[in-house]
Amino acid sequence: MSYAQLINEAVRQKGNPVLVGLDPRRESLPASFRSGSSVPAAFERFCNEIIDIAAPLVPAVKPQAAFFEQYGGEGMLVLQKIIRYARQKGLIVIFDGKRNDIGSTAEAYAAGILGEHSAWGADALTVSPYLGGDSIEPFVKTAAARNAGIYLLVKTSNPGGKMLQDLMTGGKPVYRHVAEYVEQLAAKTGGSVGAVVGATWAEQLAELRHVMPSAPLLVPGYGTQGGTAQDIAPAFHADGTGAVVNNSRGIIFAYQNEPFRSQFGEARWQDAVEASVKKMIGELKQVHFRQPAANSRSSCCE
């Protein structure tokens, strides 16, 4: 089973494309996690509880490596344990590290992170494309060999991304050149290569899905950054597969925001997490997601 088939099947099984981002911040944790243990240990307990809540509801989680790396070796060990725990719970794990380098360094990143039997054990990895094709090839090769995936940054959700990504060259923006390259790799590998395209750029999202019909999409920017269900509707194939939609702070720290703050407060932060996940699922289904028929097949890479 290719990575595209793996993630699409998970979306079918859970009936939604929600991706829960694990971006723990010490200052945002409930008070019970801010005393009595090291910060990485608190992150482990907190993220594991998030995983327990999310696993029956959503297909995947996305730990952001930086929040763990800032605490050195202990933080990295906790990240590894969280990835393993999420996999034990049946979740697909996307390692958000935005890695890349050249030659043997790229090979080492790919070998260490991608695949069930790698050191990190992640199903997929975010990768920067801006060192060029020779830096991407080791990731593609490893992903394809291990039935894992990579998501190349094509049109990121942050406002500053347009400084480089929207530059015009050869009659089209840089992001369009990158997208066309992604589509070539996705078609060649059967869906091992996907793209990151932000929900904050609705017009470009529709354009890029058309350009990359074979590529799985990772769509950040939903919720806190302003992306809506209407914005992301073009990311999906007719049966609702083809993309996962990330929400990090809006889910894991939902107890801080209305209406969940009034409904649950900090004491019931877990209930706020569950309610926010279900709210997002409902928003996506109400606007555009169609539950596929039992015999439907995604048009992507299958």
pLDDT at 51: 98
| Predicted model pTM | 0.93
Taking alpha carbons only, the member of 224, 220, 245 closest to residue 156 is 220
Of 181, 201, 185, 204, the C-alpha closest to 193 is: 185
* Residues annotated as part of the active site: 98
With contact defined as beta carbons under 8 Å apart, do 242 and 300 qualify?
yes
Output the tens digit of pLDDT for each of the chain's 302 residues.
Answer: 899 999 999 999 999 999 999 999 999 999 999 887 799 999 999 999 999 999 999 999 999 999 999 999 999 999 999 999 999 999 999 999 999 999 999 999 999 999 999 999 999 999 999 999 999 999 999 999 999 999 999 999 998 998 999 999 999 999 999 999 999 999 999 999 999 999 888 899 999 999 999 999 999 988 777 788 888 999 999 888 999 999 999 999 999 999 999 999 999 999 999 999 999 999 998 765 554 433 333 333 33
Q: Are 146 and 175 in contact (CB under 8 A)?
A: no
Identify the pLDDT of residue 290: 53
Question: Nearest Cα to 285, choosing from 57, 83, 90, 85?
Answer: 57
Q: List alpha helices for 89-226, DSSP H.
A: 103-113, 133-145, 162-165, 174-189, 202-211
Read off the tokens for 153: 């940054």
Burial of 238 (0-12, 13-18, 19+ CB in 10 A): exposed
Q: By the 8 A CB rule, do 96 and 64 touch?
A: yes
- pLDDT on residue 302: 37
So what's the pLDDT on residue 238? Answer: 86
Dihedral sign computed on CA atoms, order 101, 104, 107, 111 = negative
* 3-state per-residue secondary structure call for 207-275: HHHHHCCCCCEEECCECCCCECHHHHHHHCCCCCCCEEEEECHHHHCHHHCCCHHHHCCHHHHHHHHHH
pLDDT at 291: 40
| CB within 8 Å of 108: residues ≥ 6 apart | none
**Could you tell me the domains of the chain?**
3-287 (3.20.20.70)
